[in-house]
Each structure stands twice: as structure tokens, then as C-alpha cells.
Amino acid sequence: MQKNETVIIGAGLVGSLLSVYLCKRGYKVKIYERRSDMRKADLVAGRSINLALSDRGIKALEEVGLMEEIRKICIPMHGRFM
């Protein structure tokens, strides 16, 4: 492995964001994820997960230039929901 190459284990929220940061800095990034791609999985209705984006998360996505694209599919939440 060369100096500007890196490996990230886990393509969750943090691993994915870190890979974007590193790519923007010129690193060649390989990401390994144990789970299969959910977009290609044949899922039956059942469990789902709703994610809330904090100010810190929004700022991080703005820093890598992704927030405007994500904003298109977000549902604004005003106040706190539980």
C-alpha cells in the first residue's frame, strides 16, 4: 500500500463520510462493508430506520458538498421528536 492509499472498514455513516473527506484530499480509498448493498437486496416489508441529522452532521455534509443533494430527500423536523 502506498502512502496516499487507505482502507476503511465499515461503510456506515462515519466510514462513508470519512471516505469522502479523504478522497477530496487526494487519497485513494477502499471501503469494506460486511453487509450487502441494501439497494440491491430483496427486502420484505418490516424493519426500517429513520435517521435524524444533527447540526454537526449537516455541517459535515456541507463541508464535503453533499448537503444540498441530501436536502432534496430530507423531511424537515422542527423541534424535537421522540
Q: What confidence tens digit (pLDDT) does each residue in 35-82 have?
A: 888 778 776 666 667 788 889 999 999 999 999 999 999 988 887 766
Q: Which pTM value belongs to this model?
A: 0.72
Say if 10 falls within a structural domain. Answer: yes
- Residue 80 covered by a domain: no
Residues 6+ apart with CB under 8 A from 53: 61, 70, 74
Domain assignment present for residue 56? The answer is: yes
What total of structural domains would you count in the chain?
Answer: 1
One-letter identity of residue 34: R
Asked if the structure places residue 82 within a domain, the reply is: no
Q: Is residue 31 in some structural domain?
A: yes
pLDDT at 3 over 70: yes
